Amino acid sequence: MDGAPRATAGRRLPAGPGVYLLAGVAVGAIYAALNTVFDRWDRSRHAVAGVFSLHSFVDQVLPIVTGALLGLAVFLWQARSRAADREAMRAEELATRLRSIEREQAVWLVTSAALHDVLNPLHALGLLLDELGEIPEGDAARERLVERARVQVERVRTSIGSMRQLADAARREPVPFALGDLIRDVVGAHEARARGQGVTVTTRFEDVRVRADPMHVRIVVDAVFTNALDALRGRGGRVDLELRAAPEGAILRVSDDGAGIDPELRARIFEPLATTKSAGLGLGLSIARALTRAMQGELEIVEREGFVTTFQVRLPRELDA
């Protein structure tokens, strides 16, 4: 858990309605006693026997009742204030627990995906080793198989490394950094793929600084951007990235003009294993949303004119810290 909830500072007043009720009665009784003294002094000079009984009731009983009601009202007000403080503390605690759960969920999802990626190259390695045993040394085919085996080993190292990096990132505190620079790095890493697919990538970035975990943000941006490239596989098209500052935080929109998302899948696009791709487990977007929410942000699908699909990432700005 990120931290324990803080107690709300304030004056501590006695608990229980009896204390407030007695205090109100005492104040009312003092008033009634003083008023009676003055009434007797006034009656000795201007006696009006017909209204004396009603006058006495109003002057002696009503102040006591009013004081009691006021004391009870103060108690109820304080009780409501204390209840509101307790609810605020409970809400803060639940929010902290939710962020922790989102982060843990993302770690488990990344672990599952990495294990899945490790199993495939391990299986391929086993088949390659079987083939190597049947080829004599010095044969060119043997060298090609050795090179293919090295590629599979590198895939295993990459998958295990991603788990290690995520585990290290989960222990770090959020830091301020320029979001545009990180996005440019992610886009640059996929430049060759975009060019090979015939995809045009356009960017419009405002100077926005966020307070978050750079490793988690990189995973989120990479997942959303590669999802847009996947949508344009085999057809080409355009991907547009727009970054701007808004009152609610830093807003990144990644849009593409691909075929779009099937309406049945759209409602559960962020659920684990929700995918129509022939390869992959459908964990990328669910991991991205879990990490974004763990950083007190949000990932969602929005409408944007001129594009078929737009994913919007909202992250807390440095000013919001």
The pLDDT of residue 34: 61
At residue 4, does pLDDT exceed 50?
no
The pLDDT of residue 49: 46
5 in any annotated domain: no
At residue 213, does pLDDT exceed 80?
yes
Q: How far apart are CA 44 and CA 121, in angstroms?
A: 110
Interval 306-314 mean pLDDT: 93
If asked whether residues 189 and 70 sit together in one domain, one would say no
Other C-beta atoms within 10 Å of 176: how many? 13
If asked whether residues 182 and 320 sit together in one domain, one would say yes
34 in any annotated domain: yes
Last residue of a domain, one of 36, 68, 97: 97
Tokens 């995906």 sit on residue: 113
129 in any annotated domain: no
The CATH code of the domain that includes 321 is 3.30.565.10
Interval 276-303 mean pLDDT: 77
If asked whether residues 70 and 197 sit together in one domain, one would say no
Q: How far apart are CA 24 and CA 66, in angstroms?
A: 8
305 in any annotated domain: yes
Last residue of a domain, one of 46, 70, 97: 97
Comparing CA positions, the residue from 301, 273, 276, 277 lying closest to residue 287 is 273
At residue 23, does pLDDT exceed 50?
yes
Last residue of a domain, one of 97, 131, 163: 97
At residue 59, does pLDDT exceed 90?
no
The pLDDT of residue 321: 43
Instruction: List, for residues 132-164, the tens digit of each pLDDT value.
Output: 767 777 677 777 777 777 766 766 666 566 556
The pLDDT of residue 236: 87
278 in any annotated domain: yes
Residue pair 315/295 in contact by the 8 Å Cβ criterion: yes
At residue 193, does pLDDT exceed 50?
yes
Start-to-end Cα distance in the chain: 18
Residue pair 23/88 in contact by the 8 Å Cβ criterion: no
If asked whether residues 197 and 289 sit together in one domain, one would say yes
DSSP code of 279? S
287 in any annotated domain: yes
pLDDT interval class at 6 (50, 70, 90): very low
pLDDT interval class at 47 (50, 70, 90): very low
The pLDDT of residue 84: 83
Share of the chain above pLDDT 70, in %: 60
If asked whether residues 186 and 289 sit together in one domain, one would say yes
| Bigger pLDDT: 172 vs 68 | 68
Q: Which range among 49-53, 134-138, 201-205 has the greatest average pLDDT?
A: 201-205
Give the domain range for residue 33. Answer: 17-97
70 in any annotated domain: yes
Instruction: List, for residues 265-284, the tens digit of each pLDDT value.
Output: 777 777 765 555 544 445 67
Interval 71-91 mean pLDDT: 82
Q: What is the bridge-based pairing of β-strands 209-212 and 175-178? A: antiparallel
At residue 50, does pLDDT exceed 50?
no
pTM value surpassing 0.85: no
44 in any annotated domain: yes
Number of separate domains in the chain: 2
pLDDT interval class at 212 (50, 70, 90): very high
If asked whether residues 182 and 321 sit together in one domain, one would say yes
Which CA distances in Å does 89 have to 1, 9, 102? 15, 12, 20
The pLDDT of residue 8: 43
DSSP code of 8? P
If asked whether residues 85 and 205 sit together in one domain, one would say no
If asked whether residues 75 and 198 sit together in one domain, one would say no
Q: Any bridge partners for residue 298, and if so which?
A: 314
